[in-house]
């Protein structure tokens, strides 16, 4: 019974990630009583067939693992700029305090198929009706695996325009999470 309950909860969380993105007049419109979090997850690797990267997003009763695959996901860059291997996520969440606790990546066949994990402690708050942009979480799985964080909203907003017809980003708050400092 416990296994069934865990599977049910996992399916509900997956369904929340797959819910259609709501818009109104070209703007993101979070579902009633929720907010949207926008985050890009990108990857580069010498293995162009099966590398992936992801982040761990957690909050009260929320455990999500948005992930991108190098061979299937592409972020549409504006103009003549190169597209990026990755995915822009728009995730509906209830109001609350959240944190990105990890970035990870793997490249089967490269570096003996190891998985790389880097701990993070980036916290943010989300209010009902709010749309928050967290930036890009980039994982490189090459010779010396590493990650970087950056504000790539120009590219990411272009991708949302191409995919979903979103043209007005005036209601998006840019909030690049800062590492939590312990006192």
Res 2: pLDDT? 52
| Residue 9 scores a pLDDT above 60 | no
Q: Does residue 49 lie within any of the structural domains? A: yes
How far, in Å, are 5, 12, 51, 102, 132 from residue 126 at the CA level?
Answer: 27, 20, 31, 19, 7
Lowest model confidence (mean pLDDT) among 8-17, 21-30, 87-96, 126-135: 8-17
What local confidence, expressed as pLDDT, does residue 71 receive? 86
Is 4 in a helix, a strand, or coil? helix
Residue 78 lies in a domain: yes
Start-to-end Cα distance in the chain: 42
Provide the pLDDT for residue 112.
58
Residues spanned by the domain of 139: 2-174
User: Would you say residue 180 lies in a domain?
Assistant: no
Position 94 in a domain = yes
Q: What is the pLDDT of residue 106?
A: 87
Q: What is the pLDDT of residues 105-149, one digit of tens each?
A: 987 765 556 788 999 999 999 999 999 999 999 999 887 888 999
Q: Which of 40-54, 63-77, 93-107, 154-168 has the lowest mean pLDDT?
A: 40-54
**Any domain includes 181:** no
pLDDT attached to residue 113: 63
State which H helix or E strand residue 117 sits in: strand 115-126
- Name the token pair of 112: 């003996």
Q: Which residue has the tokens 């695959």?
A: 69
Give the pLDDT band of residue 15 (cuts 50, 70, 90): very low
Proportion of the chain above pLDDT 70, given as a percent? 83
Structural domain includes residue 183:
no
Residue 8 lies in a domain: yes
pLDDT in tens, 45-66: 887 778 899 999 999 889 999 9
Q: Considering its fold, how many domains does the chain have in total?
A: 1
pTM comes to: 0.83
């Amino acid at each position: 019974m416990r296994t069934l309950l865990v599977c049910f909860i996992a399916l509900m969380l997956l369904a929340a990630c797959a819910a259609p993105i709501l818009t109104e007049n070209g703007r993101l419109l979070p579902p009633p009583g929720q907010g949207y979090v926008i985050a890009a997850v990108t990857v580069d690797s010498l293995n162009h067939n099966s590398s992936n990267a992801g982040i761990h997003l957690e909050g009260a009763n929320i455990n999500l693992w948005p992930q991108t695959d190098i061979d299937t996901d592409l972020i549409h860059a504006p103009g003549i700029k190169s597209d990026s291997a990755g995915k822009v996520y728009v995730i509906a969440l209830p109001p609350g305090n959240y944190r990105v606790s990890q970035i990870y990546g793997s490249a089967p066949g490269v570096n003996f198929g190891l998985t790389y994990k880097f701990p993070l402690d980036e916290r943010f708050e989300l209010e009902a009706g709010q749309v928050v942009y967290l930036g890009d979480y980039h994982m490189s799985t090459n010779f010396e695996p590493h990650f970087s964080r950056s504000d790539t909203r120009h590219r990411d907003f272009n991708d949302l325009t191409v995919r979903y017809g979103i043209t007005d980003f005036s209601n998006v708050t840019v909030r690049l999470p800062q590492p939590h400092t312990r006192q």
